Amino acid sequence: MNQYQKLRDRQQQEFNALPLGFAFSDKQFREVMQAWGLDPEKDTDKIFSIGYGGFIQKKDAELLHTTTARHEEELAAAIAADQTGDGFICDMFRYELDNHEYSYTMDPSDTLDALGYTAEEINADQRLLHGLEKACKAILQSA
């Protein structure tokens, strides 16, 4: 299995296990608050929004922050450990290129955006450039 996908899948499972609530209507908000044992009218000071309809209790905020920070560190470490771009980096680009329909569009810009890279950053790092080129070639050969 793709090394990047393994990391992302594990991290997604950990994120999904966080005590988050999602609400896209007043009814759903009340349900989330009640599931947490909070009064939806009086206890809004005990929660905060994480955006996109997500909420977390303030008491769990540190868990959210440490988990997301650890995930970012794990990704950065895996990228740094790939000295050539042939391993994790190539897997990362391959997964995201597939996810952003590179074989159809032939445009890697959505992939770079999703990963937080600019073309200049890719071109400035031989490992990233090599991994991207290798992933693009592999996708085109398999299409």
Q: 96 and 48 in one domain?
A: no
Residue 126: burial class (beta carbons within 10 Å; 0-12, 13-18, 19+)? exposed
What is the value of pTM for the model shown? Answer: 0.88
Question: CA-CA distances (angstroms) from residue 143 to 2, 11, 65, 129?
Answer: 18, 29, 40, 21
Give the pLDDT score at 99: 95
Domain of 128 in residue numbering reads as 83-143
Give the pLDDT score at 143: 75
pLDDT in tens, the chain (143 residues): 799 999 999 999 999 999 999 999 999 999 999 999 999 999 999 999 999 999 999 999 999 999 999 999 999 999 999 999 999 999 999 999 999 999 999 999 999 999 999 999 999 999 999 999 999 999 999 87
Q: 110 and 73 in one domain?
A: no
Q: 48 and 13 in one domain?
A: yes
Q: 56 and 93 in one domain?
A: no
Q: 70 and 87 in one domain?
A: no
Q: 114 and 48 in one domain?
A: no
Q: 103 and 75 in one domain?
A: no
Q: 13 and 58 in one domain?
A: yes
Q: 17 and 49 in one domain?
A: yes
The four Cα atoms 122, 125, 128, 130 give a dihedral, to 10 degrees, of 110
Q: 87 and 21 in one domain?
A: no
Give the pLDDT score at 67: 98
